[in-house]
Chains A and B, each alone.
Chain A
Amino acid sequence: MKMVALAYGFIWLAVFSYVFLISRRLGKLNGEMDELRRRIDRLKP
């Protein structure tokens, strides 16, 4: 039982960690996008 729980636990942890990493990258990307929008707004006459 211990081995099965460890194996299943690790796999779900790995998958969720990866999903979290992707969402963090997406968040960073949104931040950069906002910064880009601000720069474009500054250029507008």
Chain B
Amino acid sequence: MGLVQKIFYFHVPCAWLLMLSTLVCASGSVAYLFGGSERGDRVALSAAELGVVFGMCVLVSGPLWARAAWGVYWQWEARLTSSLLLWLMLLAYVLARRYGGSSARRLAAALALFAAIDIPLVYFSVRFFRSIHPSNTVVSTLGPGMRGAFWLSLLAFTALWSVLLAARLAVESAQTELMDLEIMLDQVEEKKV
């Protein structure tokens, strides 16, 4: 495949992070929906944002690789379509949270559960449907040098994702705490007046 194969080292880790983000978002949403966990809700929002970022990377790097490998940027086949759907669901989650107000939190959490159902579809789509996308076992066919670079890249991307998630979660937690403090201060000021 030549030089274009190098896209693989970024494309696959981004795809993995899209699925991991969705899984973490859905787990946080379950904790919020069924346990009322505010922290779960914050984790879900932070993970969904990261899912949108890394999903965008998958959906851009994939077609660039496909243009060189297949001669076309896009094919409406199972892996590509289900990945696009997954990304759109996460995007809908983030938009609902950003513009829907506090009433959209439960709706967004339900949407996250729906998105999680798409993960097995994305992963197994190349096995169950006729697909031109490389199979899930392509990593085991890599040469020894390429395999090491791939796992290192996957590890580095996962570490980057973890740091970004922690940073985003810290911002979200601080924002919630600040809002609570502002409400308390408003009450104290009212009493003083």
B64 at the A/B interface (Cβ < 8 Å)?
yes
CB-based nearest A residue for B69: A3
The answer to whether A3 and B10 touch across the interface, beta carbons within 8 angstroms, is no
Closest chain-A Cβ to B185's Cβ sits at a distance in Å of 6
CB distance from B7 to the nearest CB of A (A): 5
Q: Are A39 and B185 in contact (CB under 8 A)?
A: yes
Range class of the A interface residue count: 20 to 34
What B residues does A7 contact at CB under 8 A? 7, 10-11, 60-61, 64-65
| Contacts between the two chains (Cβ within 8 Å), count | 67
Question: Does B14 belong to the interface (CB within 8 Å)?
Answer: yes
**Chain A contact residues, majority secondary structure:** helix
Contacts A1-B3, A10-B57, A14-B53: A36 and B67 contacting too (C-beta < 8 A)?
A: no
Question: Of all chain B residues, which has the CB nearest A7?
Answer: B61
Q: Which residues of A contact B57 (CB under 8 A)?
A: 10-11, 14-15
Q: What are 26 A-B contacts with C-beta separation under 8 Å?
A: A3-B7, A3-B68, A4-B3, A4-B6, A4-B7, A7-B11, A7-B60, A7-B61, A10-B57, A11-B10, A11-B14, A11-B57, A11-B60, A15-B160, A15-B164, A22-B164, A22-B168, A22-B171, A29-B171, A32-B178, A36-B181, A39-B185, A43-B185, A43-B188, A43-B189, A43-B192
Interface residues in chain A, defined as those with a beta carbon under 8 Å from any beta carbon in chain B: 1, 3-4, 6-8, 10-11, 14-15, 18-19, 22, 25-26, 29, 32-33, 36, 39-40, 43
